[in-house]
Chains A and B, each alone.
Chain A
Amino acid sequence: MLGRMICLAQPDAAILGRKATILEALRSILDPADVIDDDQLLRAYETDALTAYRQRPLAVVLPHNTQQVAAVLRYALQEGLRIVPRGAGTSLSGGAVPVADAIVVGMGRFNRIVEIDYADRCVVAQSGVTNLAISQAVAARGFYYAPDPSSQIACTIGGNVAENSGGVHCLKYGLTTHNVLGLEMVTPDGDILRLGGRHLDAGHYDLLGLMIGSEGLLGIVTEVTVRILPRPQTARAVLIGFGTASGASDCVADVIAAGIIPAGLEMMDAPAIRAAEEFVHAGYPLDVAALLIVELDGPAAEVDELITRVHGIANRHGASSCRASTDEAERQRFWAGRKAAFPAVGRISPDYLCMDGSIPRRHLAPVLQSIAELAQRHGLRVANVFHAGDGNLHPLILYDANVAGELERAEAFGSDILRLCVDAGGVLSGEHGVGLEKRDLMTYQFGPTDLEVQHRIKRVFDPQLRFNPGKVFPALSRCSEQGREHVHAQAAPGAHAGLPRF
């Protein structure tokens, strides 16, 4: 069943035929050891975290510096070669899945933190530095980099820029776009640009803002300047159980309406709670229909006061249990179940499908109700684990690919959920990106003119459409309306099979 849903870009036979010449040229531009074409070695680059789709590229290059990236891109321009930029390959939406005639530009060698500037509270890092490494580099001085995607031990800051990555704390601290001050990039023409810097607001047209979340369609980021924040004095998490999902949803809305912006505000439904509790024994109540994890951070006096207020709101919505962490170990334990929720669901179902729609918070309860009804109609189970505070849903559709017809039912169910999100005033993707995965659903959210306006921007940077072909924009001829992440218990592992995902 792999690869049956979404058409990958078709390779150009003429380019495949020139492979030897191209490799020779690349080996004259770079150290020959940094150009990979061995079929076995290419296997590591054939997919990302959307492992259902894989294709080996023509070659992988691993440049060491910006000048080398520019030289490779100028050669690619001259030869009309397609380029697929790649960080750590943790994209859940297929953002780094290659095509057969493309050169993958792997940014793994860009692994150096260039400068830490505590006075101006920023870090300059090469784009292949991992997200977590930035926080670790400034931890001793009490600082951190706020966006914390679940793959942060592996994902790169350049990849975060491409995907505009979030994390559980983005409700209060923003996405990547709110935390990047500047970057250095190479355009498809091979020009090296500096956008923004260590100052605020990039100036002129905000090409910096455009680059963030552009999914590798507009160029390759080589260096990123991020702002760092002082770590909050204290953080505590509160576990709140509810007899109904609508009680939990209403509580979320009222916490926000009461002027409280928690550092994190997560929700799990009964199937997800049960799976997580059986997996990691986090101490979650099993007699509830929905569980909220509310994290509050700041000075202790403020956190204590906010916990009292949250408790009061929870009680007004009929909370059946409410427990605040009393020490760091307990806070971590509260989170452990949430962070293990995806693999936990993976233990109770042979396969699951992860959706990533985002909706206005006020529609949480009705959308959850509709998802439950859809589950019945499609005859499948669903577990809901999501970032409730910002309305970002992650329904996990449970199915068994070995049972005839279940995959098709799961796909139909998934499409219904995404349409439901758009119909509720929401969007297809809250944080995983469109990539390959949701590309063909873009026409459900955007009209032809909306997409054409975006595509013109693509053509300003990349008139030959050579960068990350087949991503984000619907293909002219498409083989499917479907698109979402498939996780198969028995599927060949991708590069990051063991990564936490939430």
Chain B
Amino acid sequence: MTSEHFTSLRPGTETELVEVLSAPGPAFELVAGGTKRGIGRPVDATLLDLSGLSGVVDYQPGELVLTARPATSLRQIEALLQEQHQRLGFEPPTGALLDPSGEQTLGGVLMANSSGSRRVTAGSARDHFIGFRAVNGRGEAFVGGGRVVKNVTGFDLPKVLAGSWGTLAALTEVTVRVVPAAESECTLLFTVEGVQAAVELCSAALGSTCEVSAAAFVPARGVALRLEGLAASVQTRIAGLLAALKRSPQAHLDATASRELWRQVGAASALARYPVIWRLSVPPKQAARILEAIEAEEFQLDWGGGLIWVGATRVDVARVRGALHGGHATLVRAPLAERRSNAVFEPPAPAIAALAARFKAAFDPQDRLNPGRMN
């Protein structure tokens, strides 16, 4: 697909976006930073450039809530939060799997429900997404959720939009929870024999009272366990963790090295050279069996074994999806032709698929927003 062949529209306000979507017209591919266009089924539609919907609307650190227009770059948000010793709790990944020519946006992160290593303990992007304004495929501007952390008024629409890949509505404003940044961090590396042992070590660590914030297994490095918080607390918890695990680490990474390691884990950098990359969310206990069934060329585990990244040279949908008993597999990188001919996202069970189709129609009856992307 070459975008040059399409007319590009660039609304700068919600009102302009409503004008575009309420008028009869073509289907649109929603794009802002454009870093995730390579994920999902290719969308053959007119580009709707949302990058004009940018800028922070409201941020008061004492509130632990930030409101911004969706095309605000993640980099800008993170810099702003850092000044106030805060951050996004779900640790959105950056790097290898994203198109480096673009700039990742907050709205894109939420629409992809893209969460990093801390997701296992701190929750996902959707868990931190508390409110929005958006325009649906009918051209209707509407709100969901609110700007307060505790809210059970009406359906939880932010959950519905998180991970919908722009197929239900185009965001015009988002509100997210933010959290205090940890004062210090440290990562312990352990050598282990095999996947099963790695997952068991991660499970023991995550099940301890030592508040491990992330647990991954990168075969070339070993099992990585991260502890964050007050310096004194981190030191106490390291001692407690090693006692509970009855093991000695092969290495302690200081804060700088720790941050670099987890940046690489989040980006699945170890697999960057593969043309085909799968992302599997599974019950951790099944990780070893699944990897064996897939005969993975190369892999890494995050979320204590619950997130499996697999690098491959060719797409083998039947083998990967056939290995799952619960969970889902997403083909996050594959050649264009493969993404056209294979289900990129795990196909839901028939009853859920029927419901999801009606669900899509409730927001976008004419299939004008990212048509086919999640099919």
Q: Is the CB of A164 within 8 A of B156?
A: yes
Instruction: Let me know if A454 and B284 touch, CB within 8 A.
Output: no
B164 interface residue, CB < 8 Å from A?
yes
Shortest B284–chain A CB gap in Å is 5
Q: Does A491 contact B (CB under 8 A)?
A: no
Segment with Cβ contacts to A, from B48-56, B97-105, B118-126, B291-299: B118-126
A209-B156, A302-B230, A426-B146 given; A119·B203 CB < 8 A: yes
Give which listed residue, A119, A260, A445, A450, contacts B285 with CB less than 8 A.
A119
Contact B236 A425 (CB under 8 A): no
Query: Closest Cβ of chain B: how far from A457's Cβ, in Å?
Result: 6
Interface residue? B341 (CB, 8 A): no
B contact residues, range: 35 or more
- The answer to whether A337 has its CB under 8 Å from any CB of chain B is no
A374 interface residue per 8 A CB criterion: no
A429 touches B153 (CB 8 A): yes
Complex contacts, A208 vs chain B, CB 8 Å: 159
Chain A residues 445-466 with CB under 8 Å of chain B are 445-447, 449-454, 456-461
**Chain A CB within 8 A of B95 CB:** no
Q: How far is the CB of B112 from chain A (nearest CB, A)?
A: 11
Q: 0/1 per residue, A167-186, Cβ < 8 Å to B?
A: 00010001101100000000
Given contacts A193-B351, A299-B236, contact A210 B209 (CB under 8 A): no
The answer, yes or no, to whether B220 is at the interface (CB within 8 Å) is: no
Within the assembled complex, what's the spacing in Å between the Cα atoms of A432 and B150? 11
CB distance from B158 to the nearest CB of A (A): 8
- Across the interface, B233 reaches (CB within 8 A) one of A201, A210, A298, namely A298
What is the CB-to-nearest-CB distance from B301 to chain A, in angstroms, rounded to a whole number? 13
Q: B233 contacts A301, CB within 8 Å?
A: yes
Q: Which residues from 203 to 253 on chain B have a C-beta closer than 8 Å to any C-beta of chain A?
A: 203, 206-211, 229-230, 232-233, 236-237, 240
Tell me which residues across on chain B come within 8 A of A84, comparing CB atoms. Answer: none
For B148, B211, B229, B359, the residue with the greatest tally of chain A CB atoms inside 10 Å of its CB is: B148
Question: Do B230 and A305 have beta carbons less than 8 Å apart?
Answer: yes
| B85 x A454 contact (CB < 8 A) | no
Which residues of chain B are near A230, meaning CB under 8 Å?
A: 207-209
Interface residues of B in 275-325 (CB under 8 A from A): 281-285, 303, 306-307
Interface centre among A120, A193, A257, A387 (most CB of B within 10 A): A120
Q: Are B157 and A453 in contact (CB under 8 A)?
A: yes
Q: Assess the A200–B160 pair: CB atoms within 8 A.
A: no
Q: Are A391 and B150 neighbours in the complex by a CB distance under 8 Å?
A: yes
Q: Given A301-B233, A449-B140 in contact, is the A199-B281 Cβ separation under 8 Å?
A: yes
B187 close to chain A: CB less than 8 A: no
A457 close to B359 (CB less than 8 A): yes
Q: Which B residues are CB-close (under 8 A) to A378?
A: none
Decide if B152 is an interface residue (CB 8 Å cutoff): yes
Q: Which of B147-167 contact A (CB under 8 A)?
A: 147-157, 159-160, 162-164
Is A142 interfacial (CB 8 A cutoff)? yes
B4-12, B30-38, B59-67 - interface stretch: B59-67
* Mask of A51-64 contacts with B, CB within 8 angstroms, 1/0: 00000000000000
Collect the chain B residues with CB atoms within 8 Å of residue A121's CB. Answer: 203, 206-207
A220 at the interface (CB under 8 A from B): no
- B154 engages A430 (CB within 8 Å): no
- How distant is B171 from chain A, measured CB to nearest CB, in Å? 14
Chain A residues with CB under 8 Å of B327's CB are 197-199, 203
User: By the criterion CB–CB under 8 Å, are B359 and A460 in contact?
Assistant: yes
A456–B361 CA distance with the chains assembled, in angstroms? 10
The yes or no answer to B372 lying at the interface (CB within 8 A) is no
Instruction: Please pick, from B126, B203, B345, the residue contacting A206 in the complex, using a CB distance under 8 A.
Output: B126
B159 partner, pick from A177, A459, A472, beta carbons under 8 A? A177
A333 to B81, CA, bound (A): 38
Most chain A beta-carbon neighbours within 10 Å: one of B160, B210, B240, B360: B160
Interface: A362 (CB within 8 A): yes
Contact A429 B151 (CB under 8 A): yes
Q: Does B113 contact A (CB under 8 A)?
A: yes
| B residues lining the A interface (CB < 8 Å) | 60-65, 85-86, 113, 115, 119-120, 123-124, 126-127, 136, 140-144, 146-157, 159-160, 162-164, 168, 179-181, 183, 200, 203, 206-211, 229-230, 232-233, 236-237, 240, 281-285, 303, 306-307, 326-328, 345-346, 348-349, 351-352, 355-356, 358-360, 362-363, 374
List 11 A–B pairs whose Cβ atoms lie within 8 Å, in order of A's numbering: A121-B203, A197-B326, A199-B326, A204-B374, A253-B62, A259-B180, A259-B183, A302-B236, A425-B148, A430-B152, A460-B358
Known: A120-B285, A460-B362. 7 other contacts (CB 8 A): A163-B152, A166-B152, A201-B124, A204-B346, A259-B181, A447-B143, A459-B362
A residues touching B (Cβ–Cβ < 8 Å)? Answer: 117-121, 142-143, 163-164, 166, 170, 174-175, 177-178, 187, 191-195, 197-201, 203-210, 212-214, 230-233, 253-254, 256-261, 298-302, 305-306, 358-362, 387, 390-392, 425-434, 438, 442, 445-447, 449-454, 456-461, 472
